[in-house]
Amino acid sequence: MPQNHWEDYADKALQDLALTRVEGRAVLEASADQTLGLVAAAYRVRQRYFGRRIRLNYLLNAKSGLCPEDCHYCSQSKSSTAPIDKYPWLSVEETLKMADRAVATHAGRFCMVASGRGPSDRELGHVVECVKAVRERHPRLEICCCLGLLSDGQADALKDVGVFAVNHNLNTSERFYGDICQTHTYADRVGTVQKVKQAGLSACSGALVGMGETLDDILDLGFALREIGVESLPVNFLMPIPGTPLENMGLESRVPGSNDARPETRDARPVVLTPTRCLNILCFFRFLNPRASLRISGGREIHLRSLQTLGLYIANSIFIGDYLTTKGQPAEADLAMIRDMGFEIERDGVPSPASRVPGVGPIVELKTRDARLETRDRL
């Protein structure tokens, strides 16, 4: 694919025109020697809508484990034997401590996540009390809730108390969804995202790639998210956690050049994640969803590795600190990465320079509950 074609794709995105399916496939299949040209084109789109700003998001695992759903990728599901911490809802006081941590790490959005199929009315009442407390202490901190499948009226209740966004990822295509979960459907997830939009909340929904899906599945998902019109789009790369059904998935992704599948088998073969393939995927979602806040989410340390910085020329947002049940890259390293690139952290709607802190290499390991309240993010 000639390099100038990437610029044509950027031009289409800047005119709010969708790529064709053939063009989307070309982005996903771009070879490693085309990476820089592709990233440069995607950066034009990112720069138009987000400048050089980076939005930081902080995750709170407000209720961990004991989930009745069987999502094969998740360490908290009923099908997982991963040795994670399992605990009921955190108290209002514990939630406030973590909100304080979010602000201290320069996060502009505080993401409250709970395991389970969906909240009961009693559980939603507790979430409401936590949100009220956080809003009172940190009125400029955006709050996003991820609570599973929502019943009628629950999105409205969250909106009324000051929640800004609700996350519910579609994760993959409708065709492939039954391969990764049998306790609920793709349509169930779409229904929750529609409830979120109908309530006037910001819809946050995205992808989880590397689960055995094909390029066609990623294409289907990208066009579905564009049609829904999500405002925030997280892209997760599978972290194969021991004890989950997908613990052995993607081991071949560490083999250099393994993304170069033969043309005659490419459509049927599962996507293999290499750092440059991950960049292709980010570019695809950026071209299709030019105005969405594109977030590099779980797995960036494992799959992008030394190319994490290039990912920020495409995406404008990351999580800072730990994920739900696994450790993330230290906050100091993320802030150093942003500073080294000359980007600015967006906080309270106002960009500010990143703190000068030393970088640290990535590490992936299960965290303990006590680690949530340790002061490991020294800024």
Please, what's the b/e burial string for 104-121 (b: 16 or more CB within 10 A of its CB; e: otherwise)? ebbbbbbbbbbbbebbee
Distances, alpha carbon 316 to alpha carbons 52, 215, 288, in Å: 8, 24, 15
Residue 115 clears pLDDT 60, i.e. is over it? yes
Average pLDDT rounded to a whole number, residues 338-343: 94
Using CA atoms, how far apart are residues 61 and 112, in angstroms rounded to an integer? 6
271-282 per-position pLDDT tens digit: 999 999 999 999
**Which pairing describes strands 142-146 and 165-167: parallel, antiparallel, or unpaired?**
parallel
Residue 340 clears pLDDT 50, i.e. is over it? yes
Share of the chain above pLDDT 90, in %: 80
Longest dimension (CA), the chain: 58
pTM: 0.88
Average pLDDT rounded to a whole number, residues 19-43: 97
Other beta carbons within 10 angstroms of residue 287's beta carbon come to 27
Which stretch, 122-126, 259-263, 359-363, has highest mean pLDDT?
A: 122-126
Average pLDDT rounded to a whole number, residues 217-239: 97
Residue 254 clears pLDDT 50, i.e. is over it? no
Show Cβ contacts of residue 325 under 8 Å, excluding neighbours closer than 6 positions. 61, 64, 75, 76, 82, 84, 85, 241, 366, 367
Which helix (H) or strand (E) segment holds residue 48: the answer is helix 35-50
